[in-house]
Amino acid sequence: MIKLAKNFVVGTWSLIKGLAVTIKYFFRPTVTLQYPTEKQPMSECYRGLVGLRPEKCIVCYQCVKICPTACLAITHKQEDKKKTLETFKYNMELCCFCGLCQQVCPTSAIIMTNIYEISVYDRKKLDINLLDMKKYDEWTNTTIK
């Protein structure tokens, strides 16, 4: 009988403690953001969409070799000893945002931008020609400094 009464008191007290925790946070300020209007700043090294600085590229094919999902494809023109980029295809659908291409690039030509809102309505838009960076215009409004 005493044990029962004790259990009852302890049980009720535990429930009240639970209520105390929730009411404590009820009066605390909220921690979430109003997403499309307020955005969390991405860190400096954030790994978003892959971008390219074509003038720096030396066509060494390191990024193509390291890419685990084979989402990059390059073709080049050979003039004398100098290689020039012809196409630089980036298939965003396959990309796993691992950042390996950025790390292996000897000249920092290939970079990870901080564009993270990357959904599109048309599947064709997922195939990006990195030499034509205007493609990123539709995402740039989402970039945060």
Question: Which residues here bind another protein, judged by CB under 8 A?
Answer: 10-12, 14-15, 17-23, 25-26, 28-32, 34, 42-47, 66-68, 96-100, 103-104, 112
Q: How far is CA 24 from CA 11, 13, 27, 52, in A?
A: 20, 16, 6, 49
Name the residue nearer to another protein (CB basis): 43 or 78.
43
Name the residue nearer to another protein (CB basis): 32 or 119.
32
Min dist CB 121 to another protein, Å, is: 22
Please return the burial class of 49, using the count of CB atoms within 10 Å of its CB with bins 0-12, 13-18 and 19+.
buried
Min dist CB 68 to another protein, Å, is: 4
Name the residue nearer to another protein (CB basis): 36 or 122.
36
Amino acid residing at 69: T
The beta-strand segments (E) located in the chain are: 50-52, 72-79, 82-91, 110-112, 127-129
Name the residue nearer to another protein (CB basis): 114 or 130.
114
Min dist CB 51 to another protein, Å, is: 14
Pairwise CA distance, residues 32 & 92, whole Å = 29
